[in-house]
Structure 1
Amino acid sequence: MKKKLFPSLVFAFAAVLFSANAIEQPALPKEKKVKINEIKKVKNTAFTYGEKLEYRVHYGPLTGGNASFEIDPNSVDVNGRKSYHIKVSGKSAGMVDVMFKVRDEFESYVDEEAIIPWKCIKRVKEGGYKDSDFIMFDQVNGFATSRRGKVDIEQQTQDVVSAIYFARTTDMTNAKVGDIFPVNFYIDAENYLLRFKYVGKEVVKTDAGTFNTLVIKPQLIKGRVFKDDEALTLWVTDDDNKLPIMVESDIFVGSIKAELIKYDKVKNPLTSKIK
């Protein structure tokens, strides 16, 4: 259980993404193969090169760790296409670091136009547990290859990092309370369908400022890590950036919370920021 809980602590607002045990729904039906020039383009008004987000994570009353999400300032060429190189790192801190040391790193190479991953690197150290993987996504022929083997994937399948950025591109201008937004997702040689439910708007205060936000609830599995199927709440800025501002969740051994403490080089003016 520890190796599933503490990655959620360090990357709290992406907790559902870092634990396959938190995902219940099967993946969408397999779609036909496409040529590389037929890959669907995604309108991205949310992020750009050079963006960096830093978070502080709390486990109950304790400061549990820190996490950063950073897009390299320059594009890289993957499969002849301009791509983002996104790096995510997290480490435990304070008493949590003494009890259960975490040093996790993920990298994803994401197509600039389609917002799909071409490859993903995983390096995880959590207590006495270590894991690493290198995943290659063939988005044209519809499969992913890693040290765990070859798996068929659907169009626009995301990895553990790209899923966060892909979700940020979702147009929620006319979203109604209760609307569901699905994301195809791959982790550890398995396919899943994540469902994010829009539940309304709130004003949220963090060390980075006070923001008007959209409130999202990922659908989870009750009875494993989380107390119920809507135990995790995610707040994102109510503007074109859709920055993840805060996440909060009750779990069986306490609660986790992560909040944005610093941001740099966001794509658009933060019109959601009140002060």
Structure 2
Amino acid sequence: MKLILSTFFIFWTLFGFSQSAYEEGEWLSFKIKYGWFNTSTASLKVEKANLDGEEVFHVVGTGKSVGLLDLFFKVRDRYETYITEDEGLPLKFIRDINEGGYEKNKELFFDHSTNRVKVVDHKHSTTESFDFKTNTQDMLSAFYKLRNTININEIEAGQEFNLNMFFDNENYDFKTKFLGPDTIKTKFGNIAALKFRPYVKADRVFEESESLTFWVSADKNKIPLKIKADLTVGSLTAELDQFKGLKHPFKIIMD
């Protein structure tokens, strides 16, 4: 349970950016469960901001433990990314987390003209610079980048999507495969969904990642509806609990 919220945000970053999928004011809230127990909540919010004279999207992701878990394993996570309005490229990324005493507090500054990123580690008082691949995303901006990559009218089962990502001082290659259309039962009703499975590249080979499956809405919003991770003992699920400010209609299947 050590990295529940960090894991949650990484899972969502494996999907998702089109310039028409979201807008300022979008807010999504999720409940995270381990088995039958509510363990955490998480949210994603889109705002507008001015960064060094440029108008950008400012996305804030937060997560915290609840219930009994909060008494014995307190989690307080905050992620922020500043991304360009045109290409959806990250300019600045903040990761400030505390998960049962496991802490990280880093700021990343991306320079896409040189493909270099400056990493300021506030916990250890260090500053380092690294190379990154063209069109690289941070672990939060990737969600908004990929959402518009997927064309809901043309996507086919078995289709794969690849993504370059930089976090924790390293470059990563991720791949996610479309498993097919599905229907998800939610608190809002039955929702038409797209079902995916992420893979992580290790030793030059893509391997299935923790038996993960996730679903996004099969509409122009393409928002995450559910994620399920089958663990060695039990399963971890995250489900959409509240939302507002969607750019497009949220479609519910009527019986």
The alignment's TM-score, normalised by the length of structure 1, stands at 0.81
> How far apart are 1:261 and its partner, in Å?
0.9
* Contact kept? 1:110, 1:162, Cα under 8 Å: yes
Taking the aligned partners of 2:235 and 2:90, their CA distance within structure 1 comes to 31
Q: 2: distance between equivalents of 1:48 and 1:135?
A: 24
Unaligned 5+ runs, structure 2: 121-126
- Partner residue in 1 for 2:95: 122
| Structure 1 residue matching 2:219: 3-state secondary structure | coil
Residue identity (%): 32
- Within 5 Å, give how 1:153-192 maps onto structure 2: 153-172=132-151, 173-192=153-172
Deviations 1:119-152 (A, max 9, x none): 0111101112221001100011111111251111
CA contact (8 A) 2:81 2:93 kept: yes
Secondary structure (helix, strand or coil) at the match of 1:15 reads: helix
Kept in 2: contact 1:77–1:83 (CA 8 A): yes
Q: Which moved more, 1:116-125 or 1:42-51?
A: 42-51
Question: Could you say which structure has the higher strand fraction?
Answer: 2
Match of 2:41 in 1: 66
Deviation at 1:217, TM superposition (A): 0.6
Partner of 2:195: 215
Query: Does the alignment pair 1:54 with 2:29?
Result: yes
Change (3 A) 1:13 1:201: farther
2:128 — aligned with what? Answer: 149
User: Partners of 2:157 and 2:237 in 1: how far apart?
Assistant: 23
Q: Mark the CA change 1:71 to 1:266 in structure 2 (over 3 Å): closer, same or farther.
A: same
Deviation at 1:17, TM superposition (A): 5.2
Check if 1:274 corresponds to 2:249.
Answer: no
CA distance in 2, matches of 1:253, 1:100: 18
Q: Would you say the 8 A contact 2:198–2:208 is kept in 1?
A: no
Indicate if the aligned counterparts of 2:132 and 2:171 stay in contact, CA closer than 8 A: yes
Q: How does 1:1-275 map onto structure 2 within 5 Å?
A: 3=2, 5-8=3-6, 12=8, 14-15=10-11, 43-72=18-47, 75-147=48-120, 149-172=128-151, 173-220=153-200, 229=209, 231-271=211-251, 273-275=252-254
Supply the AA of the counterpart residue of 2:214.
L
Alignment RMSD (CA, Å): 2.2
Counterpart secondary structure, 1:47: coil
TM-score (norm 2): 0.87
Distance in structure 1 (CA, Å) of the matches to 2:134 and 2:237: 32
Q: Is the 8 A contact 1:83 1:111 kept in 2?
A: yes
Alpha-carbon displacement from aligned partner over 1:181-231 (angstroms, at most 9, x marks no partner): 011101111001110100001110112332100001111479xxxx95461
SS at match of 2:243: strand
